[in-house]
A and B are shown apart, each in its own frame.
Chain A
């Protein structure tokens, strides 16, 4: 018999596990682990329970997970936690019933780890409430909100942030203020800018000069400022679209001054760039250029090549609008250098195309086609089909333009040499590959 036991230990379970699609299995196994956990917590003297199961222990197996958790809370006297949990489970049911598509996710009431966490922290919060330790209450609720960080638990996350931030007692504590900062970010993500602004404003007000930091050590005041600055930047989108430049500039200036206050250089750069672009679209290129210059300085100190690239690109656009082609070209060449030195391939392709465009507008078609071609090559390396096709079209157009003048001159001149060139071109055309024209066709190279 001993050997039989040993063998079983080695070969794992006696019967093979039957994979089942319904959730019963999951539920049972979680209950089993729950029971195991309970046993671990039992004091060493209570071996009696291992022999004879009590009614309460039997019910752990028989009853649903939801019932066990609820009963445990009630039995320990945490009736407010019970009510809260019960209502949350109800709204989970309703939420799922209203959903059009059936989700793969298990109902909340079948997820042991989530229910157990809820039970533990809700009861801690209630205990703290009973001893009037309001900050501690908020700490527990903040923890729960951060525990439910996955996207499918978003509703629980904002529920607990609110239940922490909106408390009558403890609502001005550090954790409640942190919850406000988080809520501002949540609303920002959801695109509810007014709500985000309200939360960020309130967070700023509460954080004041307390010097509070969040769980990861970042100052709360700065977090709120960051959120607020982003809110103002995004609020400017609508007036910009409607070409209401003065309103957009007002909002962006506000966003910029908050960003400066936030001591976050990257954020300050973003705000400045947006402000510059807004001035650009309003036609005030001098101010825009000044702002882009400041952007470049900030990027220099941050060693942010991508930001620098963005600044140069924006700058070149302003210079171009002023009609200063030479300076535009200088600016774009600088942009190409930056992108090449820092391995920013996408920006490099973009820069080549810009440069090509500028030559194109100057009617220097062969120069333009050279740059378009370089842009095409980089986009081939990137494997970006859309960009690649765009570059192909540009190369084609510019090359056609560059050939066109000489072609028509030859047609008009009627000299034998011209005729010969035309015939030779006609015979080789179509066999050329893009990019190999300098060696492929005598005629074309003669024209170029």
Chain B
């Protein structure tokens, strides 16, 4: 029990407290100033800042898969949001979603479901596409975890619809929905749909990463703007997604070399941008082997270009 407490405390500390401790002091300890109106406004501002910080921390912990550590930040985010916006407001939705996701990750599905229905209630009157998109994605994840696959498909379909409205058909957010939907179809045994959904996801990311790589190479030649395209959390998430797709293709009976080359090339570019040449080299070689199986494949040249770039770095 003691050990558990210590773990909990540790999670709390690395999760959020080390960052917000100082700010808490200002809003928790009443001073003469804080009781006046000006002080009230200031403490509201601090709270708003706190909400944003907790949201970011919780999000990145979730992306890294550290659900336990995400929990305190998400909880605090919810509490602050409630203070600032009131328990029924639309602004509560992101906080509910974060907490639900953290709980889902830890296996507390019933509690996650409870939180999500609160979020649904709060989002009811909102016409904000982004809010509905995130809500449906969370619900889809929950239904996937509970095995209610039909409901999951319904939610991911809505997720994709709202994402397309908000960010566009080809955005990476929309493709995230495609990936999640594909995973549900994989469980339902709809392999052709999985293949075609994965191929859409891979194409969009390939396009995106190629652009990032181009700007990166240009910036190296004129090193003024040190551009960091992805933070750690996003990279972890993307890496996981691309690996899932690569594994699927490699284990698939069809062995679609073009698709393998595409996904492996994505991974190679991702790790090159992250500065891990060794991993990039590994995926680059996989991509090259796959693309060479197809005569005159479009990708062979860019893959070889990347490998050359890697050899000069190494």
For the complex formed, measure the closest distance between the CB of A176 and the CB atoms of chain B, giving whole angstroms: 23
The residues in A between 39 and 69 inclusive whose CB is less than 8 angstroms from any CB of B are 55-56, 59, 67
Q: Give the bracket for the number of chain A residues in contact with chain B.
A: 10 to 19
CB <8 Å contact, A55 and B160: no
User: Which of A9-17, A80-88, A231-239, A272-280 lines the interface with chain B?
Assistant: A80-88
A77 within 8 A of B: yes
B197 within 8 A of A: yes
- Which of B157, B164, B193, B197 is the one whose CB lies under 8 Å from A86? B164
Q: Which 5 A-B pairs have the closest CB atoms?
A: A74-B157, A77-B193, A71-B157, A75-B157, A70-B161
For the complex formed, measure the closest distance between the CB of B106 and the CB atoms of chain A, giving whole angstroms: 25
List residues of chain A with CB within 8 A of the CB of B197: 79
CB <8 Å contact, A75 and B185: no
CB <8 Å contact, B181 and A74: yes
For the complex formed, measure the closest distance between the CB of A331 and the CB atoms of chain B, giving whole angstroms: 68
CB <8 Å contact, B192 and A130: yes
List residues of chain A with CB within 8 A of the CB of B158: 59, 67, 71
B215 within 8 A of A: no
How far is B200's CA from A79's CA once the two chains are assembled, in angstroms? 9
B169 within 8 A of A: yes
B227 within 8 A of A: no
B99 within 8 A of A: no
For the complex formed, measure the closest distance between the CB of A405 and the CB atoms of chain B, giving whole angstroms: 85
B76 within 8 A of A: no
List residues of chain B with CB within 8 A of the CB of A71: 154, 157-158, 161
CB <8 Å contact, B161 and A79: no
B interface residues with partner A (beta carbon < 8 Å)? 151, 153-154, 156-158, 160-161, 164, 169, 178, 181, 185, 190, 192-193, 196-197, 200
How far is B196's CA from A55's CA once the two chains are assembled, in angstroms? 28
Most chain B beta-carbon contacts within 10 A, residue among A67, A77, A130:
A77
Given A67-B158, A71-B158, A71-B161, residue A77 in contact with residue B190 (CB < 8 A): yes
- Which residue from chain B places its CB closest to the CB of A56 in the assembled complex? B154
- Which residue from chain A places its CB closest to the CB of B193 in the assembled complex? A77
The residues in A between 396 and 411 inclusive whose CB is less than 8 angstroms from any CB of B are none
CB <8 Å contact, B154 and A79: no
For the complex formed, measure the closest distance between the CB of A81 and the CB atoms of chain B, giving whole angstroms: 12
Q: Provide 12 A-B residue pairs closer than 8 Å at the C-beta atoms, listed in order of the A residue.
A: A56-B151, A59-B158, A70-B157, A71-B157, A71-B158, A74-B153, A74-B156, A79-B160, A79-B196, A86-B169, A130-B192, A130-B196
CB <8 Å contact, A55 and B157: no
Given A77-B185, A79-B200, A80-B196, residue A87 in contact with residue B169 (CB < 8 A): yes
Most chain A beta-carbon contacts within 10 A, residue among B151, B161, B200:
B161
List residues of chain B with CB within 8 A of the CB of A75: 153-154, 157
CB <8 Å contact, B185 and A74: no
- Which of A56, A82, A130 is the one whose CB lies under 8 Å from B160? A82
List residues of chain A with CB within 8 A of the CB of B153: 74-75
List residues of chain B with CB within 8 A of the CB of A55: 151, 154
For the complex formed, measure the closest distance between the CB of A386 and the CB atoms of chain B, giving whole angstroms: 56
- Which residue from chain A places its CB closest to the CB of B170 in the assembled complex? A83
